[in-house]
Structure 1
């Protein structure tokens, strides 16, 4: 009887976890990894809007950093449409794993950064044959 009172006592042989307990532990661990969305000031919002408008006008590739609950994502592609009523941007993805002409709607409120990918233009005078 004295053995049961040592160490972990009576609970030593009954180590078991119910599926409900496991799900709750996983949910708590996931909540710990949640990101907090930064608040953008007016200048940063203006830079994002300018980059999107520039990408639409020049039909250039844009790289967006998008906020998600658990991670930041980079989306690159060509802006197909800017819907101001819905506050969303439609982008044709240039991801190697995406299907041809696959599109994604991105909410403007989730965009943290936007960069227009510059295309190199070569003049014929730059090439030495």
Structure 2
């Protein structure tokens, strides 16, 4: 019997990979590492809003972790404005000012 039919011989014998196969492998790896949006308990939501409010009033630096499907995204800074109508907060970070959508926030901690 041929060596190609044993173990991983079929893949080892063909060294060529089509671009479509490579793209599909990359898509599969991204889907495998994809995370779902966490469900935030009411108590945790209350703690997050209190920490944001304290950062606004007392100019305390906070660390905000935002939801991202593939890798965590963390922003550190001071809250300068809260917009209840648009449900966004504005933070002063090293690069300047940034608006953050409140629905994207996963956790808020003091530094």
The CA deviation at 1:13 is 5.8
**Residue of structure 2 in register with 1:56 after alignment:** 56
Q: Which moved more, 1:85-94 or 1:33-42?
A: 85-94
Larger radius of gyration: 1
**Residue of structure 2 in register with 1:41 after alignment:** 41
Q: State the SS of the aligned residue for 1:47.
A: helix
Q: Distance in 1 between matches of 2:64 and 2:84?
A: 17
The CA deviation at 1:68 is 0.9
Q: State the SS of the aligned residue for 1:8.
A: helix
Q: CA RMSD in A?
A: 2.0
The CA deviation at 1:14 is 4.4
Post-superposition Cα deviations, 1:83-103, rounded to whole Å, max 9, x if no partner, equal: 222222221114xxxx3xx22
Q: Distance in 1 between matches of 2:23 and 2:87?
A: 35
Q: Is the 8 A contact 2:4 2:13 kept in 1?
A: no
**Residue of structure 2 in register with 1:111 after alignment:** 105
Count of aligned positions: 106
Gaps spanning 5+ residues in structure 1: where? Answer: 118-129
The CA deviation at 1:36 is 1.9
